[in-house]
Homo-oligomer: A and B are copies of this chain.
Amino acid sequence: MTQLEQQGQCAKAAASVLAVTGTAKKNEALELIASALERRRGEILAANAADLEAARAANMRPSLLDRLSLSDERIGGIVEGVRQVAALPDPIGETVRMTTRPNGLTIGKRRVPMGVIGMIYEARPNVTVDAAVLCLKSGNACLLRGGKEAFQSNMAFVGVMRDALAEAGLPADCINLVQDVSRESATEMMHLTGYLDLLIPRGGAGLIRSVVENARVPVIETGIGVCHVYVDKDADLAMGAQIINNAKTTRPSVCNAAECLLVHAAVAEEFLPQAWALLRESNVELRGCAETQRILGDTVVPATEQDWDTEFGDYILAVKVVQNVQEAIAFINAHGSGHSECIVTSNYFTANEFLNAVDAAAVYVNASTRFTDGFEFGLGAEIGISTQKMHARGPMGLEELTSFKYVVYGTGQIR
C-alpha cells in the first residue's frame, strides 16, 4: 500500500465519523481552527519564510512570490474566512421531496457529504485552509495536494488544523496533506478509486487536460475561462465599453475575465473606438479580425485562428465583428469554454435569445463577467468554478460538495 493509499484509507475512516457529526461539533472545530491559526501564526510565518527563501533562490517571478507570501494581515483574512464558513448554514441533513407512496413507504432525499474530497492546486497557501474548512463544514474529509513551492506553509497550516480537530474530539485525519508533491502524486490521486469520492483540480489548462485524460475518480473540472462580451446593435454603447473594460482589465489572470469581444457590424464603427479609449489606458493588446483592423488601424494585431480559443490570462483581447446575434451565439458556443458569457443590449428579445441559446455556466445580460464568483452569487463561499455540466456548474459552494441518499421508512413492505 502506497503512502497516498494509506492517507486515503485514513481519510475514509475519518469521513465516516464526520458524516454523522452534528453541526455544533463541526462549528466548534472550525472555531478551534480559527483560534489556533491566530495563536500559532508565528510557526506559519516561519514556514512561509522558508518557502519564500527557496522560491527567491529559484528566481520565482514577483507576481508568483506575492501569491505565495503570507503576512499577519493575510493570516488575519484567512482566520476571518474560517469564521465566515462556521457561520454559514450547514447543508447536511436537509431532506427534500419527502413523500409517502401509495404502498405506505415514506421516501425522502437527504443531503449527505460526498465522503473524501481530493484537491490538486498550486501556489497560494491560503487555498489549503479555504478548502479544508469548506470540506469540514460540509462533512467531508479532504486530501489536499498543494504546489511544491508552498509545501512548508501548507504543512504548517495542516499541522495546526489537525491539532485543532483533535482538540475538538474529531479525527485529525479529516484533513490530510499529500507529502509527495511530484507530478506522479497528482496522477496517483486521479487513480485513487475506492478512497476519493470526488477530485477537484484547480489549475491551468495543462492540469485540467491531464485530469480529463487520466482520472478514474469522479472529477469536477474548474477554472478554464474563455469568456466573451457581445455588444449588440441595440446596446447602450457607453455601457458596453464600461463592461468590456471591466471584464478585461480589472484582473486579467482570473477565469471570469473576458478574452474576446464580439461586436455587431452595425455599431462596430462607433463602438470600437469608444471601447479602445478605455482599454488603451491599461495597455490592452487587441487581436482583431479584418474588420476590426480596418476600423482601429495599426493599434490592432491581426488575430490568428488560435486566438479565438485562447485564455490569454493577460492584457490581451481578441476582437471580432459579427453580423448578428445568431452569429455571436454560434461563435460563443464553438469557441467559449462554457464559463461566463455576456450580451450588452437594450433589446428584450435579443437578450432572451442570447440567454436561452448560449451554453455556459453563467450567462449575463448587461453586466460584467467578473461577477461569476461564489461570494458575488450569494453562496457565501467558493471552492472553485465548475465548467462542466455534471453535478456542479458555475461557482461551487458548500452544497456542491454534497450528495444525496434516499431514506426509506417502511412497515414491512415487500414487492
- A residues apposed to B, CB below 8 Å: 16, 19-20, 99, 101, 105, 107, 112, 114-115, 193, 197-198, 212-213, 216, 218, 220, 236, 239, 242-243, 245-247, 250, 333, 355-357, 359-368, 370-372, 376-378, 388-391, 393-394, 403-415
| Residue in B239, B362, B406, B415 whose CB lies within 8 Å of A361 | B406
Asked whether, in the complex, the Cβ of B410 is within 8 Å of the Cβ of A364, the reply is yes
Shortest Cβ gap from A110 to chain B (Å): 8
Minimum distance in angstroms from A356 CB to a CB of chain B: 5
CB-nearest residue of chain B to A101: B378
Q: Can you give 24 A-B contacts (C-beta < 8 A)?
A: A16-B357, A19-B359, A99-B378, A101-B376, A105-B376, A114-B389, A220-B390, A243-B412, A246-B414, A360-B405, A362-B405, A363-B406, A363-B407, A363-B408, A365-B408, A366-B409, A366-B412, A366-B413, A367-B409, A368-B410, A371-B408, A371-B415, A393-B403, A393-B404
Tell which of A193, A359, A405 has the most Cβ of chain B within 10 Å.
A405
A362-B414 in contact (CB<8A) = no
Given B250, B367, B405, B407, which contacts A393 in the complex, CB threshold below 8 Å?
B405
Task: Assess the A389–B115 pair: CB atoms within 8 A.
Answer: yes
A389 to B362, CA, bound (A): 24
Say how far A188's CB is from chain B's closest CB, in angstroms: 15
Residues of B near A406 (CB, < 8 A) are 361-363, 372, 377, 393-394
Tell me whether A19 and B357 are in contact (CB under 8 A).
Answer: yes
Chain B residues with CB under 8 A of A394? 404-406
B16 touches A368 (CB 8 A): no
Whether the pair A367, B242 counts as a contact (CB closer than 8 A) is: no
What separation, in Å, do the CA atoms of A20 and B362 have in the docked complex?
A: 17
Give complex CA distance A347, B332 in Å: 58
Copies in the complex: 2
Rounded to whole Å, the gap between the CB of A388 and the closest CB of chain B is 6
Shortest CB-to-CB span from A141 to chain B, Å, is 13
A105 to B261, CA, bound (A): 22
Q: Report the nearest B residue to A414, measured CB to CB.
A: B246
- Cβ A410 vs Cβ B367 within 8 A: yes
Known contacts A19-B359, A193-B212, A415-B246, A389 near B371 by CB under 8 Å: no
Residue in B357, B368, B403 whose CB lies within 8 Å of A390: B403
CB contact between A389 and one of B368, B403, B409, B414 (< 8 Å): that residue? B403
Whether B212 lies near A414 (C-beta < 8 A) is no
- Cβ contacts under 8 Å, A16 to chain B: 333, 357, 359
Chain B CB count within 10 A is highest, among A112, A115, A355, A377, for: A377
Q: Which residue of B lies closest to A333 (CB)?
A: B16
Instruction: Report A332 CB to chain B, min CB distance, Å.
Output: 11
User: In the complex, which of the residues B107, B212, B359 contacts A378, with contact meaning CB atoms closer than 8 Å?
Assistant: B107
Q: Which residues of B contact A101 (CB under 8 A)?
A: 376-378
Contact status of A368 and B19, CB under 8 A, knowing A361-B406, A405-B394: no
Residue of B nearest to A330 (CB): B16
Judging by beta carbons under 8 Å apart, are B365 and A410 in contact?
A: yes
Give 5 nearest A-B pairs by CB, closest first. A367-B410, A246-B414, A389-B403, A391-B391, A218-B390
